[in-house]
Amino acid sequence: MEDISKIEHLIKEIELGKEEYVTQLINFLMSANNFALCNKVAFVLVDNFKDDRIEDCLVKLIKDPKWKNRNGTLLYLLGEYTNNSKYLKYLIDLIIENTDDGEIYMGAYSMIINMQPPLDKKVIVRCMKFLNEERVKESHDEYKKQMIGSILTYLDGQRKICEFYKQFTDL
C-alpha cells in the first residue's frame, strides 16, 4: 500500500515539475532575443513535452516580426509537433505573406500536404476561394502563383476525399 502512495506522490511531482518547466521555457522563448538559444529551447519543448501552450507559442513566434528570416526552425518544429488541419489557413497565409523566404514557403507547403485527411470540407472550400482570389493578383511573382496553383490542386483532391469519406458518415 505504501508503494502506491509513493508512486502517486512521484506522479504528482512530475506533473507539477513539467508544468513549471514548460511555463519557464515558453516565457523565455516569448521574451528572449538569442535566436540560437531559443531554437535549442524550442527543440527541447517539442521533443520532451506535450502541452497545448507549446503549439500556441510556436504559432505566435512564427508570425512575430522579430523572428522574420529566423522562423524556419520554428515552423519545422510546429510541423513535428502537430499535423492538425486547424492550421491550414494559417499556413496558407504564411505562404502568401512571405515574399522572400523559401524556407517558409517549403516548410508551410510541406505541412499542408502532410495533414491527415479528411480535412474539413468547409475550410477547404474557404481556402480554395481565398487562393483563387490570390492567384490572380499582379503583386505575386510566378513562383508564388505556381505555389498557389499547386495548393489549389492539392485542396481539390482533399475536397474529393471528403466526399468519399462522407459516404461512410451518412450510414
Q: Where are the domains of the chain?
A: 1-82
Contacts of 35 (CB under 8 A, 6+ apart): 67, 70
- What does the alpha-carbon distance between residue 169 and residue 78 come to, in Å, rounded to a whole number? 30
What does the radius of gyration of the chain's CA atoms come to, in whole angstroms?
20
Q: Residue 43, Cβ neighbours under 10 Å: how many? A: 14
**Which residue is associated with the grid cell 491550414?**
88
Task: Kindly report the backbone phi and psi dihedral angles of residue 100, in degrees, each rounded to the nearest multiple of 5, phi listed first.
Answer: -140, 20
pLDDT tens track for 58-86: 999 999 999 988 899 999 999 998 888 88
Per-residue pLDDT at 149: 95
Output the pTM of the full model.
Answer: 0.82
User: b/e per residue, 97-111, with b = 16+ CB within 10 A?
Assistant: ebeebeebbebbbeb
- Give the pLDDT score at 171: 53
Question: 101: which DSSP letter?
Answer: -
How much is the pLDDT for 1?
52
What is the block-wise mean pLDDT of the chain (171 residues), using blocks of 10 residues?
83 91 96 94 95 94 90 93 90 86 85 88 94 91 90 94 81 53
Sign of CA dihedral 121, 127, 133, 134: negative
What pLDDT, on a 0 to 100 scale, did the predictor assign at position 103? 84
Give pLDDT, residue 126: 95
Cell of 52: 497545448
